[in-house]
Amino acid sequence: MSMTIGLAGKPNAGKSTFFKAATLADVEIANYPFTTINANHGVTYVRAECPCKEKGKTCGKCVDGIRLVPIDIIDVAGLVPDACKGRGLGNTFLDELRQAQAIIHVVDASGGTDCEGNPVDIGDHDPLEDVAFLNREITMWLYGILDRNWVKLSRKIQAEGLKLETVISEQLAGAGIKESHVNAALMETGLARMDHVKWTEEDMIRLCDTMREISKPMLIAANKADIAPRENLDELRELDRIVISTSAAAELALRSAAKGGIIKYTPGDRDFELLTEDITKAQKKGLEAIHKVIERFGTTGIQECINRTVFELLDLIVVYPVEDEGKWSDKLGNMLPDAYLMKRGSTCHDLAYQIHTEIGDRFLYAVDARTRLRLGEKHELKNGDVIKIVSTAK
Ligand SMILES: Nc1nc2c(ncn2[C@@H]2O[C@H](COP(=O)(O)OP(=O)(O)OP(=O)(O)O)[C@@H](O)[C@H]2O)c(=O)[nH]1
């Protein structure tokens, strides 16, 4: 199961900076091959507690007990200028959006760019408009697809006795909508109890809006928080969703400085340590400014966006498969060699399949390496579990 985070945002909101920062990893930390599919596709990392700390050992795969687990991220390009003037979302944008299971919407919280991304005075543009705009556009895109054939589909449901959720999900399959999404939206809107023939346009838009929320959960990165008026940040925080104050520019500077050996900084840290005095005046001033930003907000917010997208919006957990339940290692003695992101609710059997099809097919039982207890195939995994799978596979 591969999951992808989509980064969306109007021009100049800081989306490219966010993407660059989120995908810039110190190779020594990352330990994974850098797999760029194209310029817009990259790998970012979830920050997790590494279990090796509990053993009082260092696995060599983490930094001071912080494990970085890879996940794909796409810079969803093509939220075109003029979209807000009625041109709608671009095809590139929608094509890429389909591939993402959750969205981080990078908003210019400073209000220093208009709806097309043109610079205006700080505070002149209301960032709430950008949030509402993107949501509405995605909803109306779904509605457009559904409405196109609705009369025909509606008749088909009645004539052939088909299930409403099957027909709707088939029509919206291209947008990544699954039957479970439709079902959940029908329940949430109360439309499940109403004859679909009687649905008004407004009902259908409401259904699409709810399907969007469920199938593409979104959090808001209130970016440029460092220069944003406080009212803007407060206003955004009142939204009924996760809103995180971010400074993509600060995170990019920190990761670049860490990569260059100037500072010690692991993504998401609440501070950084200067490793050399051999820096220019400008660098020193820059780092001091970033220090103030971190002091004010706790972190730059970028890592928090990734973590909360993964653990809350996508509802994933991290699981560590091992072959030796005593040493928490593989056969060669490498401690905690892998960290897998899996959907919450996954079982030991699912983990076996994730490791290898044959191990899944020939699964016998699993062992919780912490408690040494035997677990059956249906046992549900928890975040941070260290698990050995026993199978008859060679
Ligand atoms: N003050 C401040 N400026 C930022 C921040 N993030 C990005 N910027 C600046 O905002 C401008 C736009 O950033 P980009 O990352 O290029 O914006 P974008 O949304 O990707 O825009 P396009 O590439 O045109 O789509 C640049 O000058 C950045 O340096 C931030 O957190 N704080």
| pLDDT at site 282 | 93
Please name the residue whose Cα sits nearest to atom 9 of ligand 1: 14
CATH fold of 4-126+217-311: Rossmann fold (3.40.50)
Nearest-atom number in ligand 1 for the CA of 251 is: 31
Nearest to 202 by CA among 143, 130, 142, 135: 143
Domain boundaries, the chain: 4-126+217-311, 138-214, 316-391
Q: Is the pLDDT of residue 6 over 70?
A: yes
Q: How far is the CA of 112 from the centre of ligand 1 (A)?
A: 11
pLDDT at 29 over 60: no
Two tokens at 311?
Answer: 């653990």
C-beta atoms surrounding 26 within 10 Å: 17
Spacing, Cα 227 to ligand 1 middle (Å): 12
Strand extents, DSSP E, 172-228: 218-223
Picking from 191, 169, 44, 146, the residue whose alpha carbon sits closest to that of residue 104 is: 44
The model's confidence at residue 35, banded by pLDDT at 50, 70 and 90, is very low
Residue whose Cα lies nearest atom 31 of ligand 1: it is: 247
Distance 301 CA to ligand 1 centre (A): 15
Question: Which range is least confidently modeled, 18-22, 30-34, 276-280?
Answer: 30-34
pLDDT > 50? residue 36:
no
Q: What is the pLDDT of residues 189-206, one digit of tens each?
A: 999 999 999 999 999 999
Q: Is ipTM beyond 0.85?
A: yes
**How much distance in Å is there from the Cα of 223 to the middle of ligand 1?**
9
Residue 222 has pLDDT above 60, yes or no: yes
Sign of CA dihedral 312, 313, 315, 317: negative
- Tens digits of residue pLDDT in 65-113: 999 999 999 998 767 655 555 566 777 777 788 889 999 999 999 999 9
Report the percentage of the chain scoring pLDDT > 70: 93
Q: Whose CA is nearest to atom 13 of ligand 1?
A: 14
d(CA 117, CA 150): 36
User: Per-residue pLDDT averaged across 166-171, rounded?
Assistant: 95
- For 306-346, how does the pLDDT look when each residue is reduced to its tens digit (9 = 90+)? 999 999 999 999 999 999 999 999 999 999 999 999 999 99
CA 206 remoteness from chain centre = 25
Name the CATH superfamily for 316-391: Beta-grasp domain (3.10.20.30)
- What is the mean predicted confidence (pLDDT) over 126-130? 95
For every residue of 250-274, DSSP letters joined together read HHHHHHHHHHTTSEE--TT-S--EE
H-helix or E-strand spanning residue 155: helix 150-160
Note the CATH number of domain 138-214: 1.10.8.470
Mean pLDDT of 236-258: 97
The pLDDT of residue 25 is: 77
CA of 283 to the centre of ligand 1 (A): 19
Taking the centre of ligand 1 as the mean of its atom positions, its distance from the CA of residue 13, in whole angstroms, is 5
**Is pLDDT at 140 greater than 70 in this prediction?**
yes
- Is 149 or 39 the better-scoring residue by pLDDT? 149
For ligand 1, the distance from its centroid to the CA atom of residue 122, given in whole angstroms, is 14
Q: Which atom of ligand 1 is nearest to the CA of 300?
A: 31
**Residue of 48, 49, 44 whose CA lies nearest to 102:** 44
Nearest residue (CA) to ligand 1, atom 7:
14
Pocket of ligand 1 (CB under 6 A): 9, 11-17, 223-224, 226-227, 247-249
Give the mutation target among 16, 115, 292 for probing the ligand 1 site: most ligand atoms within 8 A of CB: 16
Residue with CA nearest ligand 1 atom 29:
249
As a whole number of angstroms, the distance between CA 263 and CA 276 comes to 7
Asked whether the predicted pLDDT for residue 117 surpasses 70, the reply is yes
Residue closest via CA to ligand 1's atom 23 equals 16
Which residue's CA lies nearest to atom 24 of ligand 1? 11
Question: Mind listing the pLDDT tens digit for each residue in 276-297?
Answer: 999 999 999 999 999 999 999 9
Q: What is the dihedral of CA 333, 338, 342, 344, to 10 degrees?
A: 50
Can you tell me the mean pLDDT for 351-361? 97
